[in-house]
Structure 1
Amino acid sequence: MTGALDHLIIVPILLPLVSGAVMLLLDERLRTIKAAIGVATTIALLIVSIMLLRMADMMPPGSGVRTYELGNWPAPYGIVLVLDRLAALMLVLTSVLGLTTLLYSLARWHRAGPRFHTIFQLQLMGLNGAFLTGDLFNLFVFFEVLLAASYGLVLHGDGVGRVRAGLAYIAINLTGSFLFLIGASLAYGVTGTLNMADLAHRIPALAPGDAALFAAAAAVLGTAFLMKAGAWPLNFWLPTTYAASSAPAAAIFAIMSKLGVYVILRLWTLVFGPDAGSLAGFGGEWLLIGGMLTMVFGTIGVLASQTLSRLAGCSVLISSGTVLAAIGTGGGAVIGSALFYLVSSTLGIAALFLLVELVERLRGPGADVLAVTMEAYGEAEDESDDKEIGVAIPATVALLGGSFIACALLLAGLPPLSGFIGKFGMMAAMLRSDGGTVQVSTWLLIGLLTVSGLATLIAMTRTGINSFWARMDDSVPRVRIIEMAPVLALLLICLGLTVGGGPAMRYMEATTQALRTPQDYVTGVLSAQRPGSNGAEVRP
């Protein structure tokens, strides 16, 4: 039975790959069949990812990780997939976003262009593979798979603005891939390996000259990952691209920026951990500074945004910057709370991206221009005495408004939703980790967490007033259940994180503890037992 469970590790990669290949062979007019296959596949991915999360959570501290060696070739010579608490967490988050966005797209977006379901499954395959892989070369391969799929998603539909933003997005990511390839090649030339565990094993023994070359390779790789994470000053493309994309594409892209954050957290804690010698903690200060600058840029962006879609795109920058800065602090409790915030903010941003299209149906053409004009010149007061008092709010508008308020509370980090727990946990952990003396950088980060939340609340309130209170007509938009249900599901999950904050936070703390003891990861990968062996064979 144990051997069968071990094979689950590769299922999140194989399942969407096979599903996408099957749908590619089907005629494009069979959209109903393709939709059924896509939904069934994504539901199966969610079930498998939850099972993998339970497997990872059941591993006792210090027990290492679960590995899957393709072709039965041992690490570091063969391809190895690695499951730990962090990878399992990201798999579940990807599956949740994948299912909700796919269901939302069934209302109309899956018919807006060819091969949508195949592209969507390849996107999930690339994301899952990137979270599970144990070496840099296959991380590059999965990066290219998910980027190729994202090119199709960002261009899905029509419109000059979408094509223009999509072409810029492709150019930026090709540059990032080029930097990734250069950094990985340089790292291999210095160490002779690209397996992450083997890199961590060899780094302490590097000569000073080789250590400097590896630091340069890490800087190039870090630039590529920070570009994907949306870190300043490499994030100028992100708000425009996400705002121009279709609602389901933008929602699934919320996890793509966190992929860059994931890789940085994985490599920084593993390769530059306390046992890395002269390279221990390499780049931590830059992560802290870059994260805070990203928060500043995102805060200015949300205040300057005149459309809800661009506000959501700038919220991605605040979320990524917050987690990057928390990683840069190096505090274990801070990183644990940051992981909680990562999950909460990603779900909230995805819900907001799905909600953007529905809220925009409340507003007529040119509503944004009229709203800006009213803010600049004021609105003439209606002095008529026949105003209707106590007008009933239609159920659709009330549901949209309630969901909008929940998204605002989530992204601003206000109680009672889970965004507050993550932010408060980070602040409390930073104050505790500094002991009796609080450093200036800690106060700056706490101040940015507060100001960014206040700016998000102001921007969301302004947009909400323009969308719900200052409507140009009294028409009720047509919203289908399949469009509203995914938004409510994401918000209910965030509510569940609030109610179950204790167990969720304990999982995040266990994840952080595992990240801060990289030797368990190294031993678990390099000494993994081959499938089918009797357990007596252990490799050094």
Structure 2
Amino acid sequence: MVVHSLAEHLVIVPILLPLVVGAAMLLFDERRRQLKMTLSLITVASLLAVAVLLLIGAATIQSDGDATVMVYPLGNWPAPFGIVLVVDRLSALMLVLTAVLGASTLLYSLARWHKAGPRFHTLFLLLLAGLNGAFLTGDLFNLFVFFEVLLAASYGLVLHGSGTARVKAGLHYIPVNLVASSLFLIGVAIIYGVTGTLNMADLARLVPSLNIDERALFETGAAILGVAFLIKAGMWPLCFWLPTTYAAACAPIAAMFAIMTKVGVYVILRLFLLCFGGEAGNSAGFGADWLYYGGMATIAFGGIGVLASQSMLRLAGYSVLVSSGTILAAIGTTNSAVISGALFYLITSTLSISAFFLLIELIERGRDAGADVLAVTMEAYGDGESDDEEDDDEGEVGVAIPATIALLGGAFVACTALLAGLPPLSGFIGKVAMLSALINEAGSISFSHWLLIALMMLTGFATLIAMTRTGIRTLWMPREGTIPRVRAVEAAPIGALLALCVTLTVLGGPAMRYMDATAQLLYWPQEYARDILGIAPAGTVPLRPTLGTEGKP
């Protein structure tokens, strides 16, 4: 559906608004932080409102029973010759997730971090513009443009606040992403040379009609392009940079980076089902095994890293890998029901990991330096207390828990339940949806599916052990430092993110129905091409899908 009314120009707002405001801030002196803070808050609040409106529009069913796909042709040039922005159920969902994280992390940063370095607000808004553009674009060239915009902003943000650890992490992060960008360009060039188009819908239309030689070259280009995004998604063994970088970044930026890996996951999900789905002819299923087994390897690596982590920041970084690996393996199953559960899991894991990154700074604020190392030493060699000291403590009935520690402890318990997938919170719902889809798949369950099920359960158990161990060390044992001072502007974003996870739990039924419909529509690439290009698919005229039916070919 090509937009015509004024209201439908909202499609371009998530890109244009942060881009314009961020550029305008460069005209103001850096000392006018109050003005920049106000502009950023207004911008992010507007982005959240627009994203919600687009989500409502994308979820609307048309009179003929089809899902709504909003197509915005820039300059009114039709696809595939012009640039188009596309809003469907999946892209609208990612826009809302980006806006929620943007609002939460920006609010948290206003306590102190937005003053820790220059141009914070401009870089932050450019990051939002790049993320929104990556989710909205309908062609590979502009995907590269927005990819570079968000990466350029992230280079500055990962170094925000200075410090040796951040500089070291940046020296790894920047070259790795430059290599990914180079692979991106090579893959795009090969695909364009074969097909003569970079429009995603046009690619979906043309792939089934490629001859043998063209197909081999196209798959080579797609594989190179896939490696670029798998680096960003953090698939093993391309993920060595991620835990260190995320642990070194300041708290609000690390929390915002939780969605950066999901950009790679989003593009892989989108392009895989468009170009290599059931309607792709001889290319159907290309790369599925790599995603499946690579995802399982990432889950295993992340689970081991979670258990081995002696600091909360690295634990959170490895939790990002567990999340990405789970979703990549789900995509590799090529089962729409599994992907539906993975979409629900994507939302809840991103929200909970972001909340955890923010929470870590507040917990660590009152601890002595080296407390984690000291705790490990005490576990190995004893706490060094004499029997007389222990006898003196026996007369003490109990110690009152300060209100701040109680609140932080409650938030930590919620993060533990969400990351480990414990009932009844939304992390459990997402995992159960994926596991039940794997178990109920038609025919006998393969050994590889049993292996995926075992990995998901074992990593959940490993996360529970690691989080429990960390919680005892930091919140239960006698404190070696002072009670941290927590401001309302810092506590509110964490509470909001966890409250959204609770809301997803309460509204699990409607949320899963939305994910089911989204996954089903992803399995009809030729209909996606018809909506955007306005022409019939090359060589075939498939039946239109109806929501609520099985979407898997």
TM class by shorter-chain length? over 0.9
Please tell me whether residue 354 in structure 1 is matched to residue 362 in structure 2: no
Please tell me whether residue 414 in structure 1 is matched to residue 416 in structure 2: no
**2:461 is matched with which residue: 429, 434, 454?**
454
Contact 1:64/1:523 (8 A) holds in 2:
no
Query: Counterpart in 2 of 1:56?
Result: 58
Query: Counterpart in 2 of 1:398?
Result: 406
Contact 1:62/1:520 (8 A) holds in 2:
no
Q: Cα RMSD over matched residues?
A: 1.2
Contact 2:59/2:67 (8 A) holds in 1:
no
The alignment covers a number of residue pairs equal to 527
Contact 1:107/1:480 (8 A) holds in 2:
yes
Q: Which amino acid aligns with 1:265?
A: L
1:474, distance to aligned residue in structure 2 (A): 6.5
- Which deviations, in whole Å up to 9, do the C-alpha atoms of 1:479-500 show, x marking residues without a partner? 1000011001000000000000
TM-score, normalised to structure 1, is: 0.96
Question: d(CA) in 1 for partners of 2:235 and 2:380?
Answer: 32
Range moving further from structure 2, 437-446 or 58-67: 58-67
Contact 1:309/1:353 (8 A) holds in 2:
yes
**1:25 is matched with which residue: 17, 27, 40?**
27
- Which deviations, in whole Å up to 9, do the C-alpha atoms of 1:357-395 show, x marking residues without a partner? 001023212201101101221224542324532211111
Query: Counterpart in 1 of 2:516?
Result: 509
- Which deviations, in whole Å up to 9, do the C-alpha atoms of 1:375-425 show, x marking residues without a partner? 221224542324532211111100000000100100000012100000001
SS of aligned partner of 2:72: strand
**2:318 is matched with which residue: 291, 300, 314?**
314
Contact 1:295/1:317 (8 A) holds in 2:
yes
Question: d(CA) in 2 for partners of 1:358 and 1:389?
Answer: 28
1:83, distance to aligned residue in structure 2 (A): 0.5
Question: d(CA) in 2 for partners of 1:291 and 1:230?
Answer: 10
Q: Which amino acid aligns with 1:410?
A: L
SS of aligned partner of 1:385: helix
Question: d(CA) in 1 for partners of 2:336 and 2:81?
Answer: 32
- Which deviations, in whole Å up to 9, do the C-alpha atoms of 1:204-241 show, x marking residues without a partner? 11110110000100100000010000000000000000
Distance 1:65 1:360, change over 3 A: same
Query: Counterpart in 1 of 2:131?
Result: 127
Contact 2:58/2:68 (8 A) holds in 1:
no
SS of aligned partner of 2:85: strand
Question: d(CA) in 1 for partners of 2:297 and 2:526?
Answer: 32
Question: d(CA) in 1 for partners of 2:437 and 2:348?
Answer: 18
Range moving further from structure 2, 333-342 or 381-390: 381-390
**2:431 is matched with which residue: 423, 429, 432?**
423
SS of aligned partner of 1:521: helix
SS of aligned partner of 1:235: coil
Query: Counterpart in 2 of 1:15?
Result: 17
Range moving further from structure 2, 333-342 or 374-383: 374-383
Q: Which amino acid aligns with 1:424?
A: V
SS of aligned partner of 1:306: coil
Q: Which amino acid aligns with 1:19?
A: V
**1:35 is matched with which residue: 34, 37, 47?**
37
Query: Counterpart in 2 of 1:150?
Result: 154
Q: Which amino acid aligns with 1:428?
A: S
Query: Counterpart in 2 of 1:276?
Result: 280
Please tell me whether residue 488 in structure 1 is matched to residue 525 in structure 2: no
Question: d(CA) in 2 for partners of 1:520 and 1:390?
Answer: 65
Question: d(CA) in 2 for partners of 1:391 and 1:104?
Answer: 31
SS of aligned partner of 2:526: helix
1:434, distance to aligned residue in structure 2 (A): 3.6
SS of aligned partner of 1:113: coil
Query: Counterpart in 2 of 1:44?
Result: 46
Q: Which amino acid aligns with 1:468?
A: L
Question: d(CA) in 2 for partners of 1:513 and 1:493?
Answer: 25
